[in-house]
Every structure is written in C-alpha cells, then in structure tokens.
Copies of this chain bind each other. A is one copy, B any other.
Amino acid sequence: MASETSLQVTVPDMDCSSCVRAITAAVQGVDPHATVAADLQSKKVVIGGDAQAQQFIEAIREAGFSVTPS
C-alpha cells in the first residue's frame, strides 16, 4: 500500500545519529510502518507514512526537537 503522507521537514537540532533514532522512534510511535530518511548535514527529514503530516510533526516536537518547514 502506498503511503498516505509524504513530507519533508527540517529539524535544526538533529545533531547526531542518536537524534535520528529518537526522531525515528517518535515518527514510528504515530505509524509503526512509517519510513524516515534523515540527512544530518542538511538537517532534512523525509517521512512517509499513514498519518497526517501534522501528527508526525507534533510527535517530533513532543520528542524534544524543533521542526521547521523544509
């Protein structure tokens, strides 16, 4: 099944691979099958999954990271 939502955001304080794991855990707390591709250099995160974009963004914020539009 194709993912309902695909979004790209910037997470400026994503500084290391443990941050990427934390962000992935937050996103997959919303949708366990969501995909997360993160680039530490550009701070960009691409998310695909079956929930609304705002739900993914809120989960990342609740995990302690700021999120800005990409």
Contact = CB atoms under 8 A, between A and B. Distances in A.
Interface of A: 13-19, 21-26, 29, 62-65
Contacts of A19: 15-16, 18-19, 22
Contacts of A65: 18, 21-22
Contacts of A24: 64
A19 B15 CA distance: 8
A63 B26 contact: yes
Contacts of A64: 18, 21-26
Nearest to A62: B25
A63 B16 contact: no
Given A14-B18, A25-B62, A25-B64, 20 more contacts: A13-B17, A13-B18, A15-B16, A15-B18, A16-B16, A16-B18, A16-B19, A18-B19, A19-B22, A21-B64, A21-B65, A22-B22, A22-B64, A22-B65, A23-B64, A24-B64, A25-B63, A26-B63, A26-B64, A29-B62
